[in-house]
Amino acid sequence: MALALEGIRVLDLSRLLPGPYCSMILADLGAEVIKIEEPNWGDPTRWTPPRAKHTGIAFLMLNRNKKSVTLNLKQPQGVDVFRRLAQRADVILEGFRPGVVDQLGIGYEEIKRLNPRIIYCSLSGYGQDGPYSHRSGHDLNYIALAGALGLTADERGRPVIPATQLADLGGAMAATIAILAALLARERLGRGQYIDVALLDAALSLLPVAAASVFAGRSLPVGGRFGLNGLFPFYYVYETKDGRYLAVAPLEPKFWQNLCRALGRPDLSEKQFAQGEERRALFDELRRLFLTKSLNEWREILDRADVCCEPVLSLEEALHHPQIKYRQVVAEMPHADEGKVKLLTLPFKLSETPATIRTPAPRLGQHTETILRELGYTDKQIRDLNKAGVTKAKGGSVRHLLTKVLLKIVGE
């Protein structure tokens, strides 16, 4: 079976979520992704709970289809190995703070001299330049600064932390798109290029409608309601008699009219865009109506009425939903250490070059010796690199002890 990115080699220096999610997409599409990991610990998601049997479940999800090479980039021999790898690579992905790769001697300008066709993508919190470029942060910080967190609120008006990492995943998607665009451009230009992705920028890019409202002169206070963020009764979440919830979204007038008829209140059809007190009264009436029946009763009624309405499911319920099962969104793969592992597939279907999950997440350093031999290293040279701590950890027992202590601290 043909794979869209077959023949493309990616060196992935990133850890945790944003970079690995980007390279996961590239790997599923057929790229050879070589995950460069520090010999002592590797990617922290390897040991961060919750875990399957031995490995963090996030690592298993994000690192399928990848190869693992352990390399100490603080040693000159490690830098030399990386440079030799870079000469044969198409893409480099890194997630360090700005300037770190230059200090290590593996920054874009250095690698570009060795391989002018390299596509070098840097993922950072605030970007490679600007007054915040060297500031530390995580997803929550980025969505706060981008104004995204301020657009959510609970009943008391307090910002609500989203259930997923918007900036991290938005940045990963942006990096993926940029890398694919750069690969296509390379076919025309004959050379690679540098990509600067800021997770802050990515978070802001996910707010086109809200930003357009601000550009138009509208004020959006922290925790305030606007547009499709809880301002309108026809785009809202309502509680049912049994304590469950319905996501009701009859945005178009025809669907709103269908809803009003299904509720036995056709007289409400003219009040879809009611303002002020009339809107508050409409909210109150809809809340009252939805509390008169259970979730399943409403589903049966509204499914027949052709209304944009779905139940609010738990993730466990969603993963067993017949539509999600039919779309094969969940895949299962055997893993040598973990048994059968369930994974989410990519959210699109390609008719000629489908994305596939071919191999499970690798053990730490599983492919180091194989890759070194491909680069021309002899068995003696490989042993010397191991002894010098370039490709293998020193003091493994200490590492094991520290891991156990950390796991106890975080509650596993």
Catalytic residue numbers read: 168
Cα–Cα distance measured from residue 155 to residue 246, given in angstroms and rounded to the nearest whole number:
18
Please tell me whether the peptide bond between 50 and the residue prior to it is cis, using omega within 30 degrees of 0. yes
**Best CA proximity match to 195, nearest among 95, 119, 86, 87:** 119
DSSP E strand boundaries for 273-399: 309-311, 330-335, 339-344
Write the DSSP string, 206-267: T-HHHHHHHHTT----TT---TTTTTSTTSEEEE-TTS-EEEE---SHHHHHHHHHHTT-GG
How far, in whole angstroms, is CA 273 from its chain's centroid?
A: 36
- The pairing of strands 236-239 and 119-124 is unpaired
Cα–Cα distance measured from residue 95 to residue 122, given in angstroms and rounded to the nearest whole number:
6
Instruction: Copy the structure tokens of residue 398.
Output: 């200490």
Cβ-based burial of 144 (10 A; exposed 0-12, middle 13-18, buried ≥19): middle
